[in-house]
Chains A and B, each alone.
Chain A
Amino acid sequence: MSGRWGVGLAAALLMLWFAVPVVPILVWSFADQWRFPAVLPQQWGLRGWALAADEGLVPALMRSLGLGSVVAVLAVALGLGTGRTLARRSSAPGSRWRFLLAVLLLAPVALPPFALAMGLDVLLLRWRVPDAVALVVLLTVFALPYTTYTLRAGFLSLDAELEDQARMLGASRSTAFLRVTLPALAPTVMVATFLAFLIGWSDYIVTAVVTGGQFTTLPVLIGSAASRIGNEPLLGVLSLVSVGVPLTLLLLSGSIMRRTVTRSTAKGGSHAV
């Protein structure tokens, strides 16, 4: 019984942790006037939403969604390869290259993003790589360590012989991967996708450096609004949207995973083969 209380308390604290920063921006996004030291706004309204629409909330939202999605797809696709390699070769003797690969992958995390973005941007400019492509490439590089090591953990938890077993049942190498490995890794892939999406979704520095502020994503819009004063309702709306999208995705993926587990344990149903 004390264990259940402990879990409940931990869940409540976790919810509080998420809720505390969200409450003020939620209130601000529906406050037309809120002067200190009042606990609640003097005047409620949708002025912030109108301002946000005028500032280009919808196009910025679409750009951020697109950028996050493209980065997620690329980083997960590459992470499946690197994560699998690191997991499958983890017991191989004399794999010095594995250390080298780990250093290369972790460099974007270890180095300051501004310095890295500046350095790589110079190179990409000289190679005449379009800004949008350069932005996607750089953010994918930043997201790759997260997807790689998340997926590596997934591959390590999966029996390496599963694909061999599938092949001995008539599946080609790619069919074995698509019909056995990938579905078995689905929860891990979902987590990796979410992490990579967040990298693209929430980036400000790389976008600002590479595109010179010409590619207005949601974080760029927030940065611009924050540099001005008296913009709290607008900032509240932009911040609420920037928190709301990943939170919705998180709840959605959690629901899908929970439903999958419930379905499999309760009914013994299965994915389509």
Chain B
Amino acid sequence: MPSELELDRVSFRHPGSTRDAVHHLSLTVPAGSMVALLGSSGSGKSSALRVAAGLLTPRAGEVRLGGTSLTAVAPQHRGMAMMFQKPLLFPHLSVIDNVAFSARVAGQPRAQARAGAARFLDLVHLGELASRRSRELSGGQEQRVSLARALAATPEVLLLDEPFGALDTAVREAMYDLLGEIRAVLEPTVVLVTHDLTEASLADEVAVLSEGRLLQRGSVQALHSSPATLHVARLLGGFAELPGEVRAGIHHSPAGTLALPPGCLVPDGPATLVVHRQAVTVRPESPAHSVSVAREGHTLSGVVTKARSVGLQRRLSIALAPQARHTGDAPSIEADVPEPSAVQERVAVGDEVVVSIAGPGIWAIPEPGDRAGARPPSIVPEGQDSARTTGTA
């Protein structure tokens, strides 16, 4: 039975440290949903998870499950199961006995516990490996057993602490599919800690943490289309930053002028425009194009400085602001273009190009927006009048 997990102004500090690893963190994970805690190393995401699990004691705040405070509840009685970065299978037990561990600890006879465990082992498609030891399994199999073991504890909340980080790409993809299958069948409340945006995309919502603070929360699409701070944009990756100034909904920078997208309500003043490479298209420079795009306010001109293959695409680095190009101060932007393509064939390092920027992936962040305690920009979704805030701490 999934329950809502709530962290209410939780703070935690490691012994001997002078600063909080988790600072006044408030986060609600609705019953049956999946929330990813996304952050770089040392952002406090794993500490937050361990505080929720009861493995770390907060210095302030409260953890609640289904509205009930867990302050005085030991980890084993919290109704949560956790998968760690490593599979942590018990080396002296077989696969089936690892999965049956929670039932055995709860006092079930061995035969009954094993019968129950077999169901969860089948769920992760490893029923035939029941009698093996952990050292006889591959890394992916170990993590699947670990997942089955966590699920066999029938937790109200499943906590995942970067459990797929050490797996190779193909196995990780299989684990993502498996997690999706399990969510569809068991509908557990899930909290996933990760530093990988692709992995975070599995979740219904993503909470971005930095220095123990919640910077922003929303869907991956929402984070991409409107990052609240430069830190969030940098963490998501793929954004170019164009420092400049906003005047009447237009961003002015040495690279040129660009109109802000609808819904991006940034007051006049210094602001950094963040542009995701997926919002950028490139075509060779021509006077006719330049004239037409200047009116649109969504195009800039530049010179290709680097080009390299990334999978089936070609990533171009483009120096903007031709007048500053030779001083080394030119802002740059990246664009992914299909490879091979007619455009790509014509564009080479040193070519002058027109850069068009459109759609989601362009956003302005006021200058103080990246400072601690500063308010992020407000966002008005297209077609709505009321504003909503994107970040709370």
Once the chains are docked, how many angstroms separate the CA of A268 from the CA of B132? Answer: 5
A268 touches B90 (CB 8 A): no
Closest CB-CB distance, B95 to chain A, in whole Å? 8
Asked if B86 and A161 make an inter-chain contact with CB atoms under 8 angstroms apart, the answer reads yes
Give the complex CA separation of A175 and B107 in angstroms.
Answer: 12
Do A268 and B94 form a contact, CB below 8 Å, given A167-B75, A168-B75, A169-B81?
Answer: yes
Set of chain A residues within 8 Å of B159, measured between Cβ atoms: 168
Contacts of A180 in B (CB 8 A): 90
Residue B104 lies at the interface, judged by CB distance under 8 Å to chain A: yes
Chain B stretch 126-166: residues in CB contact (< 8 A) with chain A? 131-133, 136, 149-150, 153, 159
Q: In the complex the two chains form, is A270's CB within 8 Å of B97's CB?
A: yes
* B86 in contact with A169 (CB, 8 Å): no
Which of A162, A165, A184 meets B82, CB within 8 Å?
A165
Return chain B residues, CB-CB under 8 Å to A186. Answer: 92
Interface check B288, CB cutoff 8 A: no
Task: Report Cα–Cα, A175/B128, bound state, in Å.
Answer: 29
CB of A273 within 8 A of CB of B93, answer yes
Q: In this assembly, does B16 line the interface, its C-beta being within 8 Å of a C-beta of chain A?
A: yes
* Contact in complex: B74, A273 (CB < 8 Å): no
The answer on a CB contact under 8 Å between A271 and B93 is: yes
In whole Å, how far is B135's beta carbon from the nearest beta carbon of chain A?
8
User: Beta-carbon contacts of A262-273 to B below 8 Å, as 1s and 0s?
Assistant: 001101111111
Give the interface size class of chain B: 35 or more
A136 to B381 alpha-carbon distance, docked (Å): 78
B113 at the interface (CB under 8 A from A): yes
User: Which residue of B is nearest A172, CB measured?
Assistant: B76
Check B101–A166 contact: CB distance below 8 A.
yes
Contact A179 B105 (CB under 8 A): yes
Q: Are B133 and A268 in contact (CB under 8 A)?
A: yes
Residues A170 and B102 in contact in the complex (CB < 8 Å), given A93-B16, A272-B110 = yes
Question: CB distance B88 to A184 under 8 Å?
Answer: no
Residues of A within 8 A of B86 (CB): 159, 161
A183 touches B (CB below 8 Å)? yes
A55: chain B residues at CB < 8 Å are: none
Q: Which of A164, A166, A175, A270 contacts B94 (CB 8 A)?
A: A270
Distance, CA A168 to CA B161, complexed state (A): 13
Hey, which chain A residues are within 8 Å of B81, CB to CB? 168-169
Cα separation A87 to B251 with both chains bound (whole Å)? 58
* Interface Cβ pair total, 8 Å cutoff: 92
Q: Are B88 and A165 in contact (CB under 8 A)?
A: yes
Interface residues of A in 132-171 (CB under 8 A from B): 159, 161-162, 164-171
Contact A269 B16 (CB under 8 A): no
Known: A167-B55, A168-B81, A168-B82. A265 touches B105 (CB 8 A): no
B80: A residues at CB distance < 8 A: 168
1/0 per residue, CB under 8 A from A, across B66-104: the answer is 000000001110001110101010111111110011101
Interface contact A162-B105, CB-CB below 8 Å: no
Query: What chain B residues lie within 8 Å of A212 (beta carbons)?
Result: none
Q: CB distance A169 to B153 under 8 Å?
A: yes
> Which residues from B are CB-within-8-Å of A171?
76, 101, 105
What residues of B have a CB within 8 angstroms of the CB of A269 in the complex? 94, 131
With contacts A165-B84, A265-B133 taken as known, whether A184 is within 8 angstroms of B91 at the C-beta atoms is: yes
Given A180-B90, A184-B91, A184-B92, CB of A267 within 8 Å of CB of B131: yes
Q: Do B92 and A271 touch across chains, with their CB atoms under 8 A apart?
A: yes
A159 CA to B88 CA in the complex, in Å?
8
Alpha-carbon distance between A180 and B90 when the two chains are bound, in angstroms: 7
* Residues of chain B within 8 A of A172, CB atoms compared: 74, 76
Whether A94 contacts B16 in the complex (CB less than 8 A), given A170-B105, A170-B153, comes out as yes
> In the complex, what distance in Å separates the CA atom of A162 from the CA atom of B87?
10
Let me know if B101 and A273 touch, CB within 8 A: yes
A183–B149 CA distance with the chains assembled, in angstroms: 19
Name 13 A/B residue pairs within 8 A (Cβ), A-sorted.
Answer: A164-B82, A165-B84, A166-B90, A168-B55, A168-B153, A169-B76, A169-B102, A169-B150, A170-B76, A170-B105, A172-B74, A270-B97, A273-B113
What 9 pairs across the A-B complex have the smallest Cβ distances? A268-B131, A270-B94, A273-B104, A168-B82, A165-B88, A183-B92, A169-B102, A270-B97, A167-B75
